[in-house]
Amino acid sequence: MSRIRSRNTKPEVALRREVFARGLRYRTSLKLHGKPDIVLTRAKIAVFVDGCFWHGCPEHGTRPKSNIQYWGPKLDRNRARDAQVTAQLEDAGWYVMRIWHHEIVTGCGSVADRIERLWKERR
């Protein structure tokens, strides 16, 4: 299953590079709830890059047909945890951006543009 990926896979690296090229300086390992991939501290923006498979992207989050008793609950838990993390960060005043892997693959520059726009608004 080539779509199964974890942290520090290529789309995340590509996005960080794009964001950096726009002059934004971010942290990646800030001890923040849910461990966002890009953290813009002053603007309080937390960006998560969500793998299409693990986080149930509407376009590519198809569930494996085999072993459904294992995958079903596991993927449901992932989604529930994502929602919980987002809510907790928002309660703490953070703006949470969740980006699908495929959005970076098809348009890394436009995703970085969105982040930059938001960063300018919230600075």
Nearest to 108 by CA among 4, 17, 8: 17
Token pair for 51: 């793998």
Q: What are phi and psi of 26, to 5 degrees?
A: -130, 170
The yes or no reply on residue 91 touching Zn ion (CB under 5 A) is no
All residues at 6 or more sequence positions from 120 whose CB lies less than 8 Å from its CB, including other chains: none
Name the one range near Zn ion by CB under 5 A: 23-31, 34-42, 81-89, 100-108: 100-108
CB 15 within 8 A of CB 6: no
Name the one range near Zn ion by CB under 5 A: 11-19, 36-44, 51-59, 84-92: 51-59
CB of 52 to Zn ion, least distance (A): 3
Give the residue, chosen from 14, 32, 57, 108, that forms a contact with Zn ion under the rule CB under 5 A. 57
Interacting residues toward Zn ion by CB under 5 A: 52, 57, 59-60, 100, 102
